[in-house]
Amino acid sequence: MTQPDPSDTTLGALLKARGFAASAPAAPPAAPGLTGKIVVRRERKGRGGKTVTLVSGVSLPPPALDALARDLRKALGTGATVEGPDIVVAGDQTDRLRIWLLAHGATKVVMGN
């Protein structure tokens, strides 16, 4: 075992000299508003036969919800808008939305019908 550099007084170097091993890095913190249960479901009823994907359970104020819809439009290359507390994404995007939400800090994504 090599001797630690005596001039290195960082906490990591001191702990390593005492025999403590470094642990795996912590998971990134969840983005605000994406911490609760988010439901992603497909719907056609009342939309003229067109399929849309609804994202429910995002606890963000309306301006931040609009920004999230804008980010979804850019990331998925499809239309997205806000209707009340839900985000409506054009087309059947359930799998792509689940992956995107989990990659951006959502803690629990539940697939609806």
Average pLDDT per 10 consecutive residues for the chain, totaling 113 residues: 69 81 63 82 92 93 92 94 95 93 90 83
Q: Decide if 49 is inside a domain.
A: yes
> What confidence score (pLDDT) does residue 105 get?
86
C-alpha 40/C-alpha 62 separation (Å) is: 19
Instruction: Report the predicted TM-score, pTM, of the whole model to 2 decimal places.
Output: 0.70
User: What is the count of structural domains for the chain?
Assistant: 1
Residues near 88 by beta carbon (within 8 Å), at least 6 away in sequence: 52, 53, 54, 55, 80, 81, 82
What CATH number is given to the structural domain containing 77? 3.30.780.10
- Is there a domain that residue 11 lies in? no
Residue 54 lies in a domain: yes
Q: Is residue 20 part of a domain?
A: no
6 close to 25: Cβ distance less than 8 angstroms: no
